[in-house]
Structure 1
């Protein structure tokens, strides 16, 4: 029996079948049929259409949905520049393992070979930014293409999948039924022989360490890791995207995060270790050439995908299977009397002494400004374990990554693979839509904020109570302090002033300014009670940034 649906309606039904809740984007002539059918759909479960102020930000929001839920978000744009504006966001999602589906309008099929209005080779362009890129040539294929894009975006290392949709494909009639809901693939299990080998390696290791990466941050893997730590107390180092895998219960197992500069407690521990269990680790987070310079004695790689092999990363054991299942099986295989040696505990205790007090450094900011640690410590006291904190790129990102603690996975979000400016506010919008009853705080610098600050209007329109902190110093400071460390001077980093309180008010949001810790405490309390988004402008003194590149311990050279 014929469907008698347009291609756009078949696409919407396919999204319903895969439980897509939102479509973010900006309309245009080549994709307006989809927007019309979304806006006026009589299907009760049709995705909600949310119009944004820039295509890149729409894709950031969709990718944020993907990171938070493990299920792809969807972004839809028109042809030409509408599609090309997706490139950075889809590239970021693919690098950082965030499932997202990009829908790009395209000129009608008979115009594809012509130099006509907004005609670009969209499919070919996205071959470099996405895991897959397909152009639909027949409306009857539209449901199959979308379902395969969904599957591609979540399989292996998650990432972006792109679909180019000629305008006439969306408007023509479909007579083929839509694809049903995808069934999750059964994960393979690790053999008992391999598990016994790992147990033997652990038993003979003097100082084993777990390096928890991006794919260790799913809830099932985190739960399995906690079960392992409850049985045997192993030290854990987080990557930035692995933030939050250590809960309060296992605080004693936490030895910091590694990323960017090789001068952290975690770097020291990885250097000292003779056995590293890399759990869901991806090299884009922090290349092995940074943390494995001395080439550790042994490495066990446990992940859903095959590792990228380099001179600096040649694991002795590679397990390519379900991470949570493997960790659970390892926990069950370990003998009940296994524990770390006394010398290992002594080594860890020494490192703990160095680690504890990192955030208690005396500060002396210029009057009218706050030291980065004052901001981090004040924010730490204002959040609970359910708070989601999204962090943009800039000097603040390094201070937050090193000093801000979080105790649930995927509640502290960083762009650490591409280090893409502008992600924080769009990710915060995604977080508030996904976790409407939890507190959401976005942290940006004054430079990065204006990459996506126009989405403040989107947050106001959706009445989302997002607290946006802006660390304001008038520079692209992450570049500035590194230039000064390298060359003794800076170039091309000075910005003009912006009154962010007035900026907030012009969008219908609330604007506050905090120049002392007390003012910041009060501003955070006011912001939490506000109806809608709030910007807090915080003048920051970055004079101590040089310490971020300095050697933390004597045996670490940067």
Structure 2
């Protein structure tokens, strides 16, 4: 039966069928039909069109939606540079497991092989940035192309899917009905035989430890893991993207986060353990060559995808199945009397005490500046468990990852695959859209903020209450302190000052500066009470950064 829809309308109906709430992007001639139909549709279910200030940032916002909800965020751009500007955003999403569907305008079909205005091989370009990349040649294929892109984006390992849309295809009439809403596949767990093998290895191990990674951070997997910990207390180490998996209830099972430099309590525990149960762990988070240098006696890989094997990561047991269902079945099958031996419990208590005793203490910051730990601690006082904190890349990111506590998964967000500058503010915009009634904080350095700072206008336009902290020192400091450690000097890391208060005000946001370090708490109180986006300029003293890499093993600095 004919649908009498334009191709763009069939595409929008497909979005409706999958519950897409937003489309982020920037308009252009090759995709304007889609934008027209999004903005002027009478259907209240049509996704809201939100125009961004750069295509890369629009992709970051869409990826933030994907990470927070588990469902793809959608970004739409015009052809040529509109598409190529998506590349970094899509590469980041694919590396870090965030589902995104990217719609890229393209020249009309009869111009595809010509050297015409904005004609680039979009599909081929995105083969390297996305999990799947296709170009639609017939309007009747638009709905199925979108649904297949949706499936590709959410299937393990989640990531980006790209669809190239020639302008005339969007305007053509379709004669086929759109694809119906997708049916969610039933979870498939590991076999009882495999579960018994895992239980046997756990019972044999003297010091088992759980390494909880990015794919352990979904609500379903976190709930299943908590159920396991409720039955038997096991030490848990989080990756940066696994931040928040351990709740208040299981605080005693938390042994820190691992990533970057190998000198944390979690690194020591992983080194000493004779069995690592890696749950949803992805090597892009923290390569096994960093945490498995000594090659643990036994590694169990429980994941929804097959592991990447290397000389440093050759699991003894590989489970490729639904993680939550498998954990639940493992908990049910685990003997009621199973627990860690007393000497293991004693060792864990001693290990925790040693690290707490050796904990980094603040040195006195330079006049007019604030120590990173002071900023972390003051921010910790301002938030609750429902607050979403997004963190950009830089020296502040290491301090936050090590010392800022979060007790709910996907409420403390890091880019730890690509380590992409500029993600924090776009992710915060996504978080405020998804969690409108909760506090949202974006934490950036002065080096990274201006990568996406123009999206402050988007936040102002949408009247989003976002507190943006800028740790300001005038350097690309994460590079600076590592150069100094390697070469005894730095190169190419200094840049000029920006008045971030005036910057904020020029966009219609509130700008605050911590001029008196003793008033940091007061300024943060003011920021959280303000209406709309707020920038807080915080002068930071990174002199203690060298301690971030102190007491390392020889294979660390990278």
Q: Classify the TM-score, shorter chain.
A: over 0.9
Q: Offset at 1:556?
A: 9.2
Q: Deviations over 1:453-493 (max 9, x none)?
A: 00000000000000000000000000000000000000000
1:200 aligns with 2:200: yes
CA–CA separation in structure 2 for the residues paired with 1:19 and 1:355: 47
Q: Offset at 1:361?
A: 1.0
The aligned residue for residue 435 of structure 1 is 435
CA contact (8 A) 2:276 2:300 kept: yes
Q: Offset at 1:349?
A: 1.0
Query: Equivalences for 1:442-457 in 2 at 5 Å?
Result: 442-457=442-457
The aligned residue for residue 526 of structure 1 is 526
Q: Deviations over 1:297-317 (max 9, x none)?
A: 000000000000111100000
Change (3 A) 1:358 1:184: farther
Counterpart secondary structure, 1:442: strand
The aligned residue for residue 409 of structure 1 is 409
Counterpart secondary structure, 2:152: helix
CA–CA separation in structure 2 for the residues paired with 1:275 and 1:517: 46
The aligned residue for residue 288 of structure 1 is 288
CA–CA separation in structure 1 for the residues paired with 2:503 and 2:123: 38
CA–CA separation in structure 2 for the residues paired with 1:363 and 1:378: 16
The aligned residue for residue 144 of structure 1 is 144
CA–CA separation in structure 2 for the residues paired with 1:102 and 1:455: 19
Query: Equivalences for 1:12-27 in 2 at 5 Å?
Result: 12-27=12-27
Aligned length: 557
Give me the TM-score of the superposition, normalised by structure 1. Answer: 0.98
Counterpart secondary structure, 1:169: helix
CA contact (8 A) 1:77 1:105 kept: yes
Q: Offset at 1:326?
A: 0.8
The aligned residue for residue 123 of structure 2 is 123
CA–CA separation in structure 2 for the residues paired with 1:280 and 1:520: 38
CA–CA separation in structure 2 for the residues paired with 1:362 and 1:414: 24
The aligned residue for residue 328 of structure 2 is 328
CA contact (8 A) 1:470 1:536 kept: yes
Q: Deviations over 1:274-294 (max 9, x none)?
A: 000000000000000000000
CA–CA separation in structure 1 for the residues paired with 2:214 and 2:416: 10
1:497 aligns with 2:503: no
Counterpart secondary structure, 1:478: helix
For structure 1, the 5+ residue unaligned runs are none
For structure 2, the 5+ residue unaligned runs are none
The aligned residue for residue 310 of structure 2 is 310
CA contact (8 A) 2:263 2:551 kept: yes
The aligned residue for residue 236 of structure 1 is 236
Q: Offset at 1:354?
A: 2.7
The aligned residue for residue 248 of structure 1 is 248
1:379 aligns with 2:379: yes
CA contact (8 A) 2:456 2:533 kept: yes
Q: Offset at 1:522?
A: 1.4
Change (3 A) 1:287 1:557: closer
The aligned residue for residue 72 of structure 1 is 72
Query: Equivalences for 1:37-116 in 2 at 5 Å?
Result: 37-116=37-116
Counterpart secondary structure, 2:520: helix
CA–CA separation in structure 1 for the residues paired with 2:98 and 2:224: 21
Counterpart secondary structure, 2:328: helix
Q: Offset at 1:355?
A: 3.1
The aligned residue for residue 274 of structure 1 is 274
Q: Deviations over 1:422-476 (max 9, x none)?
A: 0000000000000000000000000100000000000000000000000000000
CA–CA separation in structure 2 for the residues paired with 1:175 and 1:509: 48
Counterpart secondary structure, 2:325: helix
CA contact (8 A) 1:370 1:516 kept: no
Query: Equivalences for 1:5-16 in 2 at 5 Å?
Result: 5-16=5-16
CA–CA separation in structure 2 for the residues paired with 1:368 and 1:144: 59
CA–CA separation in structure 1 for the residues paired with 2:472 and 2:296: 41
CA–CA separation in structure 2 for the residues paired with 1:229 and 1:45: 41
CA–CA separation in structure 2 for the residues paired with 1:274 and 1:17: 48
Q: Offset at 1:191?
A: 1.0
Q: Offset at 1:520?
A: 1.9
The aligned residue for residue 319 of structure 1 is 319
The aligned residue for residue 514 of structure 1 is 514
Q: Offset at 1:381?
A: 1.0
Counterpart secondary structure, 1:50: strand
Q: Deviations over 1:137-189 (max 9, x none)?
A: 00000000000000000001000000000000000101110011111111212
